[in-house]
Amino acid sequence: MFRNELTAVLTAMHISLSEQQLSQFCRFEELLLETNKVMNLTAITEPKEVAVKHMADSLSCYEEAYFPKGAACLDLGTGAGFPGIPLLIYRPDLHMTFFDSLQKRLRFLEQVTTELTLTGAVFLHGRAEEKAHDKTYREQFDVVTSRAVARLNILCEWALPYVRTGGVFIALKGAQYEEEIKEAGHALAVLGGTLEAVRPVTLPGLTDKRAVLYIRKNAKSPLKYPRKPTLAAKNPL
Ligand SMILES: C[S@@+](CC[C@H](N)C(=O)[O-])C[C@H]1O[C@@H](n2cnc3c(N)ncnc32)[C@H](O)[C@@H]1O
């Protein structure tokens, strides 16, 4: 059932998968729903909804030009692996760092990537506001993705310091994206980002507004950012 739903929705989006990729998506869905019984991973559990709102929504941010071959990617606040796992299934040449402040979710993702034999996966446990001050991660990524983690002005402060100059921060946003863009103008300017493209997204069978924002990093982020945990949220740029 999930297999058919996913095939239908991706066909409508003009995305085609190999048989192996389709099986990987199916196994991921099984593991997600199985593990969700004992760990809080997702409120979405109907196969059709998982296909559309998790898998297809994650792939809606995919644009070949933004993902160079073998790109170093970071999925910030990955949770149960969205959009990181679908992107890695779709593009197994990517090096995907799954980043979250909750260790148990990362353990689940380790199990998923092992079972799916996705070799380009790395797991990073910690807070976005802290790891960005570690040289190993600061301005080291070609692509940073993030879905459902924070409002854009806060998220820019957390995400842009990880992006190398010339790289891109891809934010998957919901209905309030236009307002969030207006609110984030100052944060973008301070952190060295420019909004390069806004791609409105309509997922098959859904009517709600959403969009993918492509933010180019064109200058280094000042070293004082991100500020200590809670400061960005209390007093956004
Ligand atoms: C609502 S979930 C979204 C998960 C996933 N991206 C999705 O779209 O389904 C937000 C995730 O971000 C993580 N998170 C929130 N604040 C964070 C921070 N400051 N640093 C790292 N991870 C954070 C949470 O632990 C949680 O897993």
- Which CATH number is 162's domain given? 3.40.50.150
Find out whether 189 is annotated in a ligand binding site: no
Quote the pLDDT of residue 230.
87
Domain of residue 190: give its range: 61-234
In this predicted structure, what is the pLDDT of residue 197?
Answer: 98
* Tens digit of each residue's pLDDT (9 = 90 or more) over 156-181: 999 999 999 999 999 999 999 999 99
pLDDT (0 to 100) of residue 125: 98
Overall domain count for the chain: 1
pLDDT (mean) for 148-152: 97
- Pocket-testing residue among 134, 149, 151, 201, ligand 1, by greatest number of atoms within 8 A of Cβ: 149
Distance CA 21, CA 167 (A): 27
Q: Is residue 10 part of a domain?
A: no
- Give residue 232's pLDDT band: very low, low, confident or very high (50, 70, 90): confident
122 CB less than 6 Å from ligand 1? Answer: no
Return the pLDDT at 82: 98
Above 90 in pLDDT, residue 233?
no
Say if 22 falls within a structural domain: no
The CB density around residue 37, as the number of other CB atoms within 10 Å, is: 8
For the record, the structure tokens of 99 come out as 């980043």
**For range 8-20, the mean pLDDT:** 97
Among 74, 101, 124, 210, which is best to mutate for testing ligand 1, by the most ligand atoms less than 8 A from CB?
101
95 located within any domain: yes
Buried b (16+ CB within 10 A) or exposed e, 167-177: bbbbbbbeeeb
Asked whether residue 128 carries a pLDDT value surpassing 90, the answer given is: yes
Predicted ipTM > 0.90: yes
Whether pLDDT at 215 is above 90 = yes
> Is the pLDDT assigned to residue 50 strictly greater than 90?
yes
Q: Is residue 38 part of a domain?
A: no
The alpha carbon of 205 and the centre of ligand 1 are apart by a number of angstroms equal to 26
pLDDT at 227 over 90: yes
Give domain status of residue 16, yes or no.
no
pLDDT digits (tens, 9 = 90+) for 179-194: 999 999 999 999 999 9
Is the CB of residue 124 less than 8 Å from the CB of residue 222? no
CA of 77 relative to ligand 1 center, distance in Å: 3
The pLDDT > 90 percentage for the chain reads 97
Helices (H), 37-163: 47-49, 57-59, 84-90, 103-115, 128-131, 152-159
R_g (Cα) of the chain, nearest Å = 17
Residue 79 lies in a domain: yes
217's CB contacts (< 8 A; 6+ apart) are 139, 160, 163, 164, 165, 166, 167, 168, 169, 192, 193
User: Mind listing the pLDDT tens digit for each residue in 53-82?
Assistant: 999 999 999 999 999 999 999 999 999 999
Distances (CA, A) of 5 to 10, 50, 78, 177, 209: 9, 9, 23, 27, 21
pLDDT higher than 90, residue 142:
yes
**Is 94 a member of any domain?**
yes
Examine residue 199 and state whether it is found in any structural domain, yes or no.
Answer: yes
